[in-house]
């Protein structure tokens, strides 16, 4: 579980804890983290293999979150209703999530989902998109995993491949923090390491 600063930090948590209420009624954070990691890994592999990249809009993005987390949380696929921040990064106000998320995906559709770009252009646009969706942070938990799944599907749809294992999680987090501070260069470099050239 990501460590967020949250308005009403016990929202949707068991009393006197920061453990999210879950379908399995697990009240120990370490146990929940371990099981969540296993379940979302399996669901993610399944989604990568079975998800068709069609009708891609903000609802599609929400459905990816639902796929990853439906075994754990009743609110899987639902937008958060509180404001959150993490390591000094303040994410989108919850009241703007639906409007901005819809606009971002309309823009992406207008860009033909980044198909037909040169390798350099693709890296530029992917880094910017990753940053924008990360700043949106539409869910209470599981934003990073949903974003990585979406970027994987988007990249493959554009005739490329991506391997997040080529970049440590910490490096991606650092690059995302720098992007939030206005410098996308490290994030672009990270994607340059992970994304194969067009086929």
Minimum mean pLDDT range among 22-26, 84-88, 116-120: 84-88
- The overall average pLDDT reported for the chain is 93
| Model pTM score | 0.93
Q: What confidence tens digit (pLDDT) does each residue in 111-121 have?
A: 999 999 999 99
Q: Which domains, and CATH codes, for the chain?
A: 5-194 (1.10.3290.10)
Contact predicate 186/118, CB 8 Å: no
Long-range contacts, 39-47 (Cβ 8 Å, 24+): 39/71, 39/72, 40/68, 40/69, 40/142, 40/145, 43/67, 43/68, 43/69, 43/70, 43/71, 44/68, 44/145, 44/149, 47/149
| C-alpha count within 13 angstroms, C-beta hemisphere, residue 20 | 20
């Amino acid at each position: 579980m990501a460590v967020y600063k949250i308005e009403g930090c016990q929202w949707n948590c068991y009393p006197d804890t920061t453990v999210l209420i879950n379908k399995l009624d697990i009240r120990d954070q370490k146990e929940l983290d371990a099981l969540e990691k296993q379940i979302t890994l399996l669901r993610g592999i399944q989604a990568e293999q079975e998800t068709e990249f069609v009708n891609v809009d903000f609802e599609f993005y929400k459905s990816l979150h639902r796929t990853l987390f439906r075994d754990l949380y009743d609110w899987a696929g639902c937008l958060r209703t509180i404001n959150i921040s993490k390591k000094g990064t303040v994410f989108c106000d919850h009241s703007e999530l639906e409007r901005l998320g819809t606009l971002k995906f309309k823009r992406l559709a207008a860009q033909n989902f980044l198909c037909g770009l040169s390798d350099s252009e693709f890296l530029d646009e992917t880094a910017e998109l990753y940053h924008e969706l990360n700043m949106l942070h539409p869910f209470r938990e599981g934003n990073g995993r949903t974003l990585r799944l979406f970027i994987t599907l988007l990249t493959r749809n554009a005739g490329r491949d991506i391997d997040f294992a080529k970049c440590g999680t910490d490096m991606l987090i650092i690059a995302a923090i720098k992007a939030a501070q206005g410098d996308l260069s490290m994030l672009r470099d990270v994607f340059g390491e992970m994304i194969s050239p067009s086929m």
